[in-house]
Amino acid sequence: MDHALNINTDDSLVEHTTDKKWNVRTAVHEYGDGSYAVYDGIVVFSNWSDQGLYLIDTNNKEQRVPRRICECNDNLRYAAATIHPSKKFLVAVREDHREVDLGAPATLVAISLADAGSEVVLFDSHDFVSTPVFSPKNDEIAFYAWNHPGMNWDATTLFRATIAFGSDGIPTSLVNQTIVVGKKDDPCESVYQPRFGETGRLYFLSHRNTYHIDSDGQVTLSLDMPMEAEFGPPKWAFGISRFQAMPGHSDAVLVTPTLDDKTRLGLLNVNYGDSTGKGRNYRERLYLQFGVIDMQGYCAAALYLANIEHVDRKRLRIMGGSASGFTTLACVVLLTSFWKKDHHGTLCNGLTNGLLSLDTRV
């Protein structure tokens, strides 16, 4: 998603970075989002053209022009940045595309806000990492990670660690790193969106419910009454939020689960097996059946509307992106008898971006 950066300060400064040079957007995980961070007048954002991180300090009139703070390499991408309250550094997810044969490893890096190109790798043991957050004392960090071949809605690991600082106040490493949830003996725990409350209690979402970590390290259910709902839907992009620890209430969280299986229709938005918002069991119906069940669902939905004469059977079109892009291609290639030819003799074609990236990862 493209963004125009709009900064409002007390002296009514408004800067619109709408020219071609600036486009607030990141390509991490291809889906992007999590492209900017704001803290106490400091704005950091990812610029689409070079994928670099840029800083604007609205507290300083001399720093209101975006200044690059990351390494000068267009093959490095950044997302999910969080600015440390000291305002000396930020921590972000960095995706490395410098070695094509090695894929695109993701790491957690600390980046100085003062020295351009000063980056310290804090975490690099997993294929993917996401959502770094600081504790109220600002000396602790939490984040989660996962590995191929799993996706983040299959199994993730929640980490918690202490930040070791150098004499300049910039992190040098993470120490006392522990696994909070998602150990090898629990391979199907899908965790995301860690959040610290005001007292330092760590909360997180699971596909099963909302939990917190007690002072003795025990994982405890945050809700008095468990609910049959999806609390942690698949995280297609950075920056998705489904709950928040409530300020002034040390033991309270505000959460928005998905409680029903209603499908919203636009043109005809088919919520096939492996789609999201209906829970893990529904989503896993497509395992080992990818390209079969979803094709059947698309065609059955279209035929139903044609049979009740809500659509013209001769004018059917199919379109889709990402996973639905594959389904679109599969439908028009494998089910040619279903997609009728028009009066020019050409197959009613599908529109897809499925071939744009065969290595799309979330």
pTM of the model: 0.72
pLDDT at 20: 67
Tokens of 70: 């990351």
Give, as one character, the DSSP assignment of residue 228.
S
Tokens of 149: 């071949």
- Hey, what domains does the chain have and what are their CATH numbers? 6-255 (2.130.10), 280-352 (no CATH)
Q: Is the pLDDT assigned to residue 220 strictly greater than 50?
A: yes
User: What single-letter amino acid sits at 114?
Assistant: A
* Residue 106, strand partner residues: 95
Calculate the dihedral angle through the C-alpha atoms of 264, 266, 268, 274, rounding to the nearest 10 degrees.
-50
Cβ(29)–Cβ(362) under 8 Å?
A: yes
pLDDT at 36: 94
Identify the band that residue 248 occupies on the pLDDT scale cut at 50, 70 and 90. Answer: low
pLDDT at 200: 87
Please give the backbone phi and psi of residue 144, each rounded to the nearest 5 degrees, phi first: -130, 160
Q: Is the pLDDT assigned to residue 212 strictly greater than 50?
A: yes
Determine the distance from the C-alpha atom of residue 228 to the mean position of all C-alpha atoms in its chain, rounded to a whole number: 24
Cβ(89)–Cβ(110) under 8 Å?
A: yes
pLDDT at 187: 61
Cβ(262)–Cβ(271) under 8 Å?
A: no
Mean pLDDT rounded to a whole number for the chain: 77
Angle between helices 323-334 and 293-307 (to 10 degrees): 70
Q: What is the pLDDT of residues 20-45, one digit of tens each?
A: 688 899 999 887 789 999 999 999 99
Calculate the dihedral angle through the C-alpha atoms of 175, 180, 185, 188, rounding to the nearest 10 degrees.
-130
Most trustworthy range by pLDDT among 26-30, 223-227, 270-274, 299-303: 26-30
Angle at 157 between CA 212 and CA 242, to 5 degrees: 50
